[in-house]
Amino acid sequence: MTTQNLLVELFVEELPPKALNKLGAAFSGVLAEQLKAQGLAAADAAVTAFASPRRLAAHVTGVLAQGADKAVQQKLMPVAVGLDAAGNATPALLKKLQALGADVSDPAAAVAALKRAPDGKAEALFYDSIVKGASLQAGLQKALEEALAKLPIPKVMQYQLETDCELPGWSSVNFVRPAHSLIALHGSAVVPVKALGLTAGNSTQGHRFEAKVSPVVLAHADQYAETLKNDGSVIASFAERRAEIVRQLNAAAAKVGNGARPIEDEALLDEVTALVERPNVLTCQFETEFLDVPQECLILTMKANQKYFPLIDASGKLTNRFLVVSNITPDDASLVIGGNERVVRPRLADAKFFFDQDRKKTLESRVEGLSKVVYHNKLGTQGERMARVCAIAKAIGQQVGGDLLAQQAEQAARLAKTDLLTDMVGEFPELQGIMGGYYARHDGLSTEVAEAIEDHYKPRFAGDELPRNNVGLVVALADKLETLVGMFGIGNVPTGDKDPFALRRHALGVIRMLIEKDVVLGLPELLALSAPVFGDKITGGADALIDFIYDRLSGNLREQGFSAQEVDAVMALRPARLGQVSQFLSAVRAFAALPEAPALAAANKRIGNILKKAGEVDAHVNPALLQEDAEKNLYAVMQKLVPESEAQFKAGDYTASLQTLAALRAPVDAFFDDVMVNAEEMDLRLNRQGLLKSLHVAMNRVADLSRLAA
């Protein structure tokens, strides 16, 4: 069968920019998937997605005009239901065959054409038929409807469309934006499918202002991108348009000189790509007096409000130049540049005003105001929360670094949330913490405290840096622990994809800080320090919280490349000090590579089962009660190796500790071959169980080695 490439485009009004790339991928993906499912496109057909502010399109290679016929076998009914005692067709069978379009004029011939095959405990009748392949028009119609129905659109709009019939009128259409035209080209032939009240043709619209012709007519499916670029002044491919913006941004920055480069922001780049059809990057500037304002404020207002790309110099300092991605390319760009400079000036002036006003009050003077801000109806105000964070920070600081750290951590925790009451953070909530650091320095506070206030939200996201100093580390831990303990304490836990208080992110932040900073306090100890500060505001939740944190840690370790067996072995013991976890995992990985590992892991599992059935067992051995040579030999080898392994464990050499115990394989195997553990004499049984208990304790200091057993 001959094939042609297929092009489908839906031309609409401006689509939501933050969702455009996802919409384009979903539209093309579902469309191609449906064509493949109907046999109209090969499984390896190439699919190209196009998405611009006003269009979604897909190009699929090798699409058939008519799908191949398929042989289909259908189960009809059990033989006992379809045939009578004489083997003739029952009325039920004839009715079923007639419904399927089979010829039942000769019932005997119809029965002879059926197949009998086992179906569970009985035998069933099966009917073979040929199903005609789908036509492209019918198949594409179904695929298009499915693609539109599955677009990831949280909310659609309803609009009216004039009906295309003899009687004038209007019909209601529901879609993310009003649609104006539809293209469906199979090679150069139009496929007359319909969608959203539109019938497919071969024409679309180009750039609003710079298209060379209107409408833009497509001669062939393969000429879509080229025709739109040449005649419509539109770069239809999202990826190509994005790459062109990056190229122009870098070229414009290079012309500015002094190592200038545009701020890196993938989300902003995606959003701007979704706002323009043919990008044109222009260089603008603002007055240098605004550079006295913290650069985070200026960068944020330019990015968030205006979608500009600020330029930073080689040292990472903001310059007074910024780049604009325009959607038009006039011969004289001065008016566009001047207009954007006029627009940004009031924004920067607002930021400067907020900064100047905020500095007229100290952070300390704002503390009282926190008691007027509700945090949670069950957990009180921000003032109450601040007091709890202070208490937790002081307790952690005392344990980790003594009086000085405790005092600094308490001071930083007391002031950490006060910038929530400033005008700047009120306008730009993303700057909370950052502005607190600036205002703390202005108030004359120490560098350690100012940095701690700035850093106490860190890590804010995966891969974010950790607090710079110990004061910040303590306050960040206290802040996240207060949230976790409080929310779990009132039963406000994450469910499914809902996590309004970002408890998963807080848990991962605690994990990262405890591991990467190797905090000496164990996780259970930290939670025990945190819970009492809530008084009677919380009831329980401690067990669920510690399970939650260890589950997050397990998942995180698997994402880092550790095997499920390795992670399960280490996490089964719930290591208190998380800074040791990576060393434990490395030790387990090295042990698992030893030839003795499988046998010892299996033996460890067997020992665990024996001890579980025995109940409470004392790890004590009376050498005088050892009778068999195998148990005497095992005890003797343990007397030599276990102290050595324990010393290595205490020294932090966990790999050596496990490898030392690998020499126990032979005596352990011999013990299980020659010794009856559950001897009839109670004293012998208890002694042997005690020997196994001692061995079990020694083998499972680093990890539960039984988890390595196949």
pLDDT digits (tens, 9 = 90+) for 493-524: 998 888 889 999 999 999 999 999 999 999 99
- pLDDT for the residue 680: 85
- pLDDT for the residue 262: 96
Q: b/e for 468-501, b at 16 or more Cβ within 10 A?
A: ebbbbbbbbbbbbbbbbbbbbbbebbbeeeeeee
- Residue 254, Cβ density class (10 Å: 0-12 exposed, 13-18 middle, ≥19 buried): exposed
User: Residue 23 belongs to what domain range?
Assistant: 3-67+135-232
Contacts of 642 (CB under 8 A, 6+ apart): 661, 694, 698
Indicate whether 670 pLDDT > 60: yes
Helix (H, G, I), strand (E, B) or coil at 194: strand
Ordered DSSP codes for 624-637: GG--SHHHHHHHHH
Indicate whether 163 pLDDT > 70: no
Indicate whether 381 pLDDT > 70: yes
- Over pLDDT 90: what percentage of the chain? 73
Contacts of 682 (CB under 8 A, 6+ apart): none
Q: What is the dihedral of CA 555, 556, 557, 560, to 10 degrees?
A: 120
Give me the mean pLDDT over the 476-497 stretch.
Answer: 93
User: How many residues does the structure list for the chain?
Assistant: 710
- pLDDT for the residue 565: 93
d(CA 684, CA 673): 17
- Domain annotation covers residue 409: yes
Do 33 and 150 lie in a common domain? Answer: yes
- pLDDT for the residue 166: 55
Do 425 and 552 lie in a common domain? Answer: yes
Strands ordered across the beta sheet of 122-131: 70-78, 122-131, 115-119
Contacts of 493 (CB under 8 A, 6+ apart): 487, 503, 541, 544, 548
Contacts of 335 (CB under 8 A, 6+ apart): none
C-alpha distances out from residue 268 to 246, 309, 424, Å: 12, 8, 22
d(CA 597, CA 664): 10
- pLDDT for the residue 214: 92
The answer to whether residues 50 and 277 touch, using CB atoms and an 8 Å cutoff, is: no
Contacts of 325 (CB under 8 A, 6+ apart): 245, 248, 249, 272, 275, 276, 279, 280, 281, 307, 309
Do 457 and 535 lie in a common domain? Answer: yes
d(CA 48, CA 227): 16
Do 80 and 218 lie in a common domain? Answer: no
212-251 pLDDT, tens per residue?
999 999 999 999 999 999 999 999 999 999 999 999 999 9
- pLDDT for the residue 54: 96
d(CA 710, CA 703): 16
- pLDDT for the residue 101: 78
Do 476 and 464 lie in a common domain? Answer: yes
- pLDDT for the residue 419: 96
Q: Mean pLDDT score of the chain, rounded to an integer?
A: 92
Do 588 and 533 lie in a common domain? Answer: no
Q: Which of 131, 146, 176 is where one domain is finished?
A: 131
Do 157 and 13 lie in a common domain? Answer: yes
pLDDT band at 156 (very low <50, low <70, confident <90, very high): confident
Do 634 and 654 lie in a common domain? Answer: yes
Do 174 and 93 lie in a common domain? Answer: no
Give me the mean pLDDT over the 288-300 stretch.
Answer: 95
- pLDDT for the residue 119: 84
pLDDT band at 1 (very low <50, low <70, confident <90, very high): low
pTM above 0.85, yes or no: no
68-86 pLDDT, tens per residue?
777 777 888 888 888 888 8
- Count CA atoms closer than 13 A to 511's CA, side-chain side: 25
Q: Measuring CA to CA, which residue among 109, 26, 107, 117 is closest to residue 73?
A: 117
Give me the mean pLDDT over the 91-114 stretch.
Answer: 84
Indicate whether 167 pLDDT > 70: no
Number of domains in the chain: 5
Do 60 and 79 lie in a common domain? Answer: no
pLDDT band at 31 (very low <50, low <70, confident <90, very high): very high
* Partners of residue 186 on adjacent β-strands: 6, 189
pLDDT band at 420 (very low <50, low <70, confident <90, very high): very high
Q: Which of 101, 131, 161 is where one domain is finished?
A: 131
In this predicted structure, which of 50-64, 102-116, 289-303, 673-687 has the lowest mean pLDDT?
102-116
What DSSP state is assigned to residue 65? Answer: S
- pLDDT for the residue 165: 54
- Domain annotation covers residue 394: no
User: Residue 415: what residue type?
Assistant: L
- pLDDT for the residue 612: 87
Q: Which of 330, 358, 386 is where one domain is finished?
A: 358
